[in-house]
A = this chain, B = another copy of it.
Amino acid sequence: MTTKTITVVRDLLATNKQAAAAIRAELRSRGILGVNLLSSPGSGKTTLLEALAERFRDRFRMAVIEGDIETERDAERIRAKGVPAWQITTGGACHLEARMIGKVLGDVPAAIDLLFIENVGNLVCPASYDLGEDLRFVLLSSPEGDDKPAKYPQAFLSADVLVLTKADLLPYLPFDPDRAAAEALAIKPGLKVFIVSALRGDGIDALAAYVVEALERLRSGHA
């Protein structure tokens, strides 16, 4: 990489950081918890949000911003659960940036509790972009293999919560959740780990309770 390229990337990240700080301040002032979901394509981000939508129904008001390179598919799945959703299609870009969230934020109703942002499916690039969230999930699905944290460290280092998904497939796979968790914890001590099957419902109550605690901390000023 040339010096010129490095400078441009640094400028982009600095500009993104400023935009993210403004979003974080706005969300906090509105008492909204922002949650950014990172993972490979097909790790179950949308399915997890569908399961959380069912769990939060009639208790907390949830909204979702969906990031994808192309298609409105994920937003449609979320709307089918009665949850407002906005689709950002990046048209090729490999991650969401804070300015993209900023553009949508004016449309998000003031009276919500939880704003989930589903990033573009990519375990690498989204890790470098703060979107103004107060909680970051990284998802790792059992079919991906328990050797992934050390191979893609930045995503795990930048996350607050590791969600090991597709636990229903564990009987058919060599995936060891303890190994995956230990490897992620070696990268990021203090990472909160949940093992879930969004399809069967395993672990969703515990994860939902953790999100609610984070919302309460935010509203009490201890985010």
**Chain A residues with a Cβ under 8 A of chain B:** 2, 4-5, 8, 12, 40-42, 68-71, 73, 92, 94, 120-125, 141, 143-145, 147-148, 150-154, 166, 168-169, 172-173
Contacts and interface: CB of A to CB of B under 8 A. Distances in A.
Given A122-B124, A141-B143, 17 more contacts: A2-B8, A8-B8, A40-B40, A40-B121, A41-B144, A41-B148, A42-B141, A42-B143, A42-B144, A71-B147, A73-B147, A92-B154, A120-B124, A121-B151, A124-B125, A168-B172, A169-B172
Contact of A42 (B8, B71, B145): B145
A121 B43 CA distance: 13
Quick one: copies of this chain in the complex?
Answer: 2
A69 B152 contact: yes
Nearest to A15: B2
B12 A151 contact: no
Nearest to A5: B8
A124 B5 contact: no
Given A143-B141, A143-B166, A144-B41, A122 B123 contact: yes
